[in-house]
Structure 1
Amino acid sequence: MNGLETTTDDSTDSRADADPQPESAAAGRRPGLALTRFFAELPGLIIVALVLAFLLKTFVIQAFYIPSASMEPTLQVGDRVLVTKLAYLYREPERGEIVVFREEEVGPTTQGNIVGDTVRSFASGLGLIQPLERDFIKRIIGLPGDEVEMRGGVVLINGDPLPESLMSDGGYLAERDLNDFGPVTVEADHYFVMGDNRPNSSDSRFSLGQIDADQLLGRAFVTIWPIDGAGSLPIAEYEE
C-alpha cells in the first residue's frame, strides 16, 4: 500500500510539474495572436468608423468653420460651430435663429481627385478646414410672407421695428447699417437672412438674395472652438 501510494503521489507530482509548461507557452503566444488579429480587423474597423462619420455628418450633425467677419460679434473668424441637421424635420425655422445654408448652383470645386475630395470632405465636416462647397452662416430675419425693409439702421418687419440692439446694450449687432433697403416681400418657402455685422455682410439684401428652404443645412446651436469661447447659440427672442 505504501509503495502504491508513493508511486501515485510521484506521478501526480510529475504531471503537476509538467502542466505549467504548455500553459506558459500558450500565454507567450496570446499577445502575438491578439496583435495579429487586431491588425487583420483594423481595415474593417476603419471602414465602419468612416461610414458612421459620413452618416453622422450627412444626416445628424456637422461642424463648420467660420471664414468671414459677417457674423461678428456673435461669431469670429476661425470659430467652429456645430450645426444640427434635425432641427427642421418637425418644425419651421424661426426668426432669430443662426442657420447655415448652401449657395444654389455651386459648380465643381475640385477636379477628379476622389481620395483628396473625400479626405477634405471629412476634414471640413469636423470643422478643421473650409468646406469644398460654398456654405454661409447668417441670422434669419424675415419669414415667408414678411415684408422686410431697413430705415435709418432699423429693420422693419411688416412695418414694425424689429427689437434689435447693439452688443454694448446686450444685443447681437456689431453696429447698425444706415443704408436703407426695401421694402421686399419674402417669398413662400424662403427666408430673409442678415449677418450680425450689418455693414460688412453680404446677405439677402445683396447677392445672396432670399434663401430657399431647400438650401438650409441646419441650425447652428453651439460654438465649440476656441475652447474659451465655447457655448450655446440661443435663438434671439423678439417681442411679438
Structure 2
Amino acid sequence: MTSHREAVPEHRRTDSDSAGGAHAARRPRRGGLAAWARETGIIVVSALVLSLLIKTFLVQAFFIPSGSMEQTLLVGDRVLVTKLAPGPLDVHRGDIVVFKDPGGWLPEQLPPDVPAWRAALTSVLTYVGLLPQDSGEHLIKRVIGLPGDTVECCDAQGRLMVNGVPIDEPYLAADAQPSELEFSVVVPEGRLWVMGDNRQNSQDSRYKQGDPGGGSIPEGNVVGVAFVTVWPVDRWHALRNPGATFADVPAPVGSGG
C-alpha cells in the first residue's frame, strides 16, 4: 500500500521523512510478486482474447506451402487474409482467396513427426492467431469467374475468355500458358471458378470439372481475400486486385447487372 508520506511535496519533507522513506524503501512490499503475476496474467489473457477475436472476425495469417501461385506468392510466404470478404465486402474477379478444400483437392497428409507437446503448442498458437495457418485443409487461388460467368479456354491468341471477352493476365508465372486444357464452363450460383497463377503447376478448377459444381468452389468455403505478403521481410508487398484485367468483362447474361 502506498504510504501518505509518498504524496508529500519534496520541499515540505523533513529529515525524518527522508529517513523513514529510506527505511520503507528497504522493506519488501507485501503482495508484490502476486500483484505482478496477476497483472501479467491479465495482460496475456487479454492479448490472447484480442488475437482470437481478430483472427475470427477480421484478419488471419496463412503460410504458402506450394508453388501454384508463383510468381505472385512463393513457397514459405506468409500472407494476411481479410475475413470481411465474402461478407460485408464482396469477392471480385482477380482476388486471391483462401478457401477450405471442398473435397478431393488436397492429397491426404500424414501428421508431422514432432513431439506431442510441440504439436499441441503449435495447434493452440495457431488457433488463437499467433502463428500462421499452415496448408492443412486450405488452398489459395485466384478468382477468375463469379456466379453466372462463362469461363472458356481459349481464344485464337491463347487467352482465357470471361463472358466472351478475352483477358490479358499480367500475374501469370513467367512462360506460363493461360491454360493447357480447353474448357468452357458456366459458374453455378453461389460458386467461384479459381485458378493458380502458375497454371502448369496448379491443381485448380480446371482439373475438378467432374466434381459437383463442375470444378467451381462454394463461396461458403472461402475464408477470406489475401491482401498483403508480410513474410519474409524482403517479400513484403500488397496483393492488389488487377482490376484492369477484368475491366471490360460484362456482367453475366441474366444477372441484371
Question: Shorter-chain TM-score category?
Answer: 0.7 to 0.9
Alignment of structure 1 residues 33-48 onto 2, 5 Å: 34-48=32-46
TM-score, length of structure 2 as denominator length: 0.74
Is there any run of 5+ residues in structure 1 with no aligned partner, and where? 1-14, 165-170
For the Cα contact (< 8 Å) 1:151–1:179, is it kept in 2? Answer: no
Residue 143 of structure 1 corresponds to which residue in structure 2?
146
Alpha-carbon offset, residue 151 of structure 1: 2.4
The answer to whether 1:130 aligns with 2:134 is yes
Alpha-carbon offset, residue 83 of structure 1: 0.6
| Amino acid corresponding to residue 154 of structure 1 in structure 2 | R
Change in Cα spacing, 1:177 to 1:187, as seen in structure 2 (3 Å) is same
For the Cα contact (< 8 Å) 1:65–1:127, is it kept in 2? Answer: no
Q: 1:67-102 CA distances to partner (integer Å, 9 max, x unpaired)? A: 000000101000111111113323321001111111
| Amino acid corresponding to residue 229 of structure 1 in structure 2 | R
Name which one, 1 or 2, has greater alpha-carbon Rg.
Answer: 1
The answer to whether 1:75 aligns with 2:81 is no
SS at match of 2:46: helix
Residue 21 of structure 1 corresponds to which residue in structure 2?
19
| Amino acid corresponding to residue 144 of structure 1 in structure 2 | P
Is there any run of 5+ residues in structure 2 with no aligned partner, and where? 1-12, 249-257
Cα RMSD over matched residues?
A: 3.0
Alpha-carbon offset, residue 46 of structure 1: 1.9
Change in Cα spacing, 1:187 to 1:81, as seen in structure 2 (3 Å) is same
Alpha-carbon offset, residue 48 of structure 1: 1.9
- Kindly, what percent of the aligned residue pairs are identical? 41
SS at match of 2:56: helix
Change in Cα spacing, 1:181 to 1:121, as seen in structure 2 (3 Å) is farther
In 2, the alpha carbon distance for the partners of 1:108 and 1:114 equals: 20
Alpha-carbon offset, residue 158 of structure 1: 2.2
Alpha-carbon offset, residue 159 of structure 1: 2.5
SS at match of 1:45: helix
TM-score, length of structure 1 as denominator length: 0.78
Change in Cα spacing, 1:29 to 1:96, as seen in structure 2 (3 Å) is farther
Q: Residue 220 of structure 1 is aligned with which of 200, 222, 226?
A: 226
For the Cα contact (< 8 Å) 1:146–1:185, is it kept in 2? Answer: yes
For the Cα contact (< 8 Å) 2:64–2:77, is it kept in 1? Answer: yes
Residue 206 of structure 1 corresponds to which residue in structure 2?
207
Change in Cα spacing, 1:61 to 1:129, as seen in structure 2 (3 Å) is closer
State how many pairs are aligned. 217
